[in-house]
């Protein structure tokens, strides 16, 4: 099994088009030791190196595909290595790329929960729009612990675990999140029994996802914000990290405290990093702290073979 990080940034990317925070302006002016990042997506392949599951379809997907030649095997006049799409939520940064896949020569197989299917049918009717192009083939993703396999991507087993976060603003229950609005994925290679937990949106650590993280060989988890008040402090938002469904890294009960409790051999990677997060500055004290703790920061093009 191989995982390729297509986009390691949160919604907005890094730099974000209209943002002049220290990180975004520093990156533009080459005054910062940092790397640009596109919006949130990974790709997963099993025993067939030419069949990948796209996990989340980023607004930046076309650029991501251009920089990932492995996803274009060129066996036919129209071809792709993307065998299916798996969605962890219905947010803009994870679904807008579906529009860019509309030239697909067959209905796009999409695995998502009923909640996400509802949001992408009503609040943000991407699935209805795609019906006028390639269409989609919906595969319901269950959150009752039942695993699933993604047709075409052999040698990988999947399980969705409901997590506490926030559905998209166009969800009818944005302020009353329900199980299935956001999931973590347990991605497992049965051949070697190795598993990865991927959870780019994790608002608080509940028992189910924590148990999965403790059993995994690698965790790729919510790296959106360093502090709960990050965006408030910069005058960019009135909302705390937790209020928009992201557990901050620092502070009591923050992600760093949880990661420190994982078994020593677990590979720990922060992903879905917001452009305001000081860990993007590779010379920052916060990044040095991660280095000391053995926590990695995902970057575009990163490959993981757990
Ligand atoms: C989030 O993860 O909170 C959202 O994706 C933010 C956004 O893209 O609007
Ligand atoms: Mn997001
Ligand atoms: Zn910024």
Span 250-263, pLDDT tens digits: 999 999 999 999 99
Atom of ligand 1 nearest to the CA of 168: 4
Residue 57 CB less than 6 A away from ligand 1 = no
Counting ligands in written order, which one lies closest to the CA of residue 241? 1
CB 208 within 8 A of CB 115: no
pLDDT band at 55 (very low <50, low <70, confident <90, very high): very high
CB 163 within 8 A of CB 184: yes
Looking at ligand 1, which residue's alpha carbon is closest to its atom 1? 11
Residue 231 CB less than 6 A away from ligand 1 = no
Homologous superfamily in CATH for domain 2-304: Ribonuclease Z/Hydroxyacylglutathione hydrolase-like (3.60.15.10)
Q: What is the mean pLDDT of residues 204-219?
A: 98
User: How much of the chain exceeds pLDDT 90, in percent?
Assistant: 100
Whole-number pLDDT of residue 9: 99
pLDDT band at 228 (very low <50, low <70, confident <90, very high): very high
Q: Pick from 224, 282, 243, 276: which is nearest to 19 by CA?
A: 276
Q: What is the mean pLDDT of residues 91-100?
A: 98
Distance (Å, rounded) from C-alpha 118 to C-alpha 190?
32
Q: Pick from 69, 136, 132: which is nearest to 98 by CA?
A: 136
Strands 218-222 and 194-199: parallel
Whole-number pLDDT of residue 156: 98
Whole-number pLDDT of residue 75: 97
State which of 37, 56, 92 you would mutate to test the pocket of ligand 1, scoring each by most atoms of that ligand within 8 A of its C-beta: 92
**Tokens describing residue 165:** 């976060």
Looking at ligand 1, which residue's alpha carbon is closest to its atom 8? 11
pLDDT digits (tens, 9 = 90+) for 144-178: 999 999 999 999 999 999 999 999 999 999 999 99
Ion ligand 3, residue ranges at CB < 5 A: 16, 19, 21, 24, 275
pLDDT band at 201 (very low <50, low <70, confident <90, very high): very high
Gap from CA of 164 to ligand 1 centroid (Å): 14
User: What are the extents of the domains in the chain?
Assistant: 2-304
Looking at ligand 1, which residue's alpha carbon is closest to its atom 4? 11
Predicted TM-score (pTM) of this structure: 0.98
Gap from CA of 287 to ligand 2 centroid (Å): 21
The two most distant CA atoms of the chain are separated, in Å, by 55
Residue 91 CB less than 6 A away from ligand 1 = yes
pLDDT band at 267 (very low <50, low <70, confident <90, very high): very high
Whole-number pLDDT of residue 279: 99
Residue 93 CB less than 6 A away from ligand 1 = yes
CB 133 within 8 A of CB 100: no
Whole-number pLDDT of residue 234: 96
Burial of 303 (0-12, 13-18, 19+ CB in 10 A): exposed
Q: What is the mean pLDDT of residues 240-257?
A: 98
Residue 167 CB less than 6 A away from ligand 1 = no
Residue 10 CB less than 6 A away from ligand 1 = yes
Ion ligand 2, residue ranges at CB < 5 A: 11, 91, 93
Looking at ligand 1, which residue's alpha carbon is closest to its atom 3? 244
Gap from CA of 295 to ligand 2 centroid (Å): 21
Atom of ligand 1 nearest to the CA of 39: 8
Residue 131: how many CB atoms within 10 A of its CB? 13
Torsion angles phi and psi, residue 246, rounded to 5: -130, 120
Distance (Å, rounded) from C-alpha 205 to C-alpha 247?
8
Gap from CA of 154 to ligand 1 centroid (Å): 31
Mean pLDDT, the chain, whole residue set:
98
Residue 244 CB less than 6 A away from ligand 1 = yes
Least confident interval from 19-23, 128-132, 191-195, 283-287: 191-195
Distance (Å, rounded) from C-alpha 229 to C-alpha 168?
21
Residue 160: how many CB atoms within 10 A of its CB? 25
pLDDT band at 225 (very low <50, low <70, confident <90, very high): very high
């Amino acid at each position: 099994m191989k995982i390729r990080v297509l986009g390691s940034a949160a919604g907005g990317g890094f730099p974000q088009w209209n943002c002049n925070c220290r990180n975004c302006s520093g990156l533009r002016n080459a005054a910062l030791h940092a790397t640009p990042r596109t919006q949130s997506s990974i790709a997963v392949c099993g025993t067939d190196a030419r069949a990948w599951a796209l996990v989340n379809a980023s607004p930046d997907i076309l650029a991501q595909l251009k920089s990932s030649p492995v996803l274009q095997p060129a066996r036919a006049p129209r071809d792709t290595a993307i065998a299916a799409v798996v969605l962890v939520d219905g947010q803009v940064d994870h679904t807008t790329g579906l529009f860019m896949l509309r030239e697909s020569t067959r209905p796009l197989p999409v695995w998502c929960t009923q909640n996400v299917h509802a949001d992408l049918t009503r609040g943000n009717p991407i699935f209805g729009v795609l019906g006028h192009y390639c269409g989609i083939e919906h595969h319901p993703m269950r959150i009752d612990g039942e695993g699933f396999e993604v047709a075409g991507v052999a040698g990988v087993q999947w399980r969705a675990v409901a997590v506490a976060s926030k559905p998209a603003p166009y969800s009818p229950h944005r302020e009353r999140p329900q199980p299935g609005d956001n999931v973590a994925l347990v991605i497992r290679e049965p051949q070697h029994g190795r598993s990865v937990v991927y959870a780019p949106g994790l608002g608080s650590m509940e028992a189910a996802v924590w148990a999965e993280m403790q059993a995994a060989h690698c965790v790729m988890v919510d790296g959106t914000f360093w502090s709960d008040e990050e965006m408030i402090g910069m005058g960019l938002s009135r909302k705390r990290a937790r209020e928009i469904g992201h557990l901050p890294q620092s502070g009591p009960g923050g992600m760093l405290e949880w990661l420190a409790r994982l078994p020593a051999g677990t590979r720990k990677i922060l992903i879905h990093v917001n452009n305001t997060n000081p860990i993007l500055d590779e010379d920052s004290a916060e990044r040095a702290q991660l280095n000391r703790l053995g926590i990695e920061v995902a970057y575009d093009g990163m490959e993981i073979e757990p």
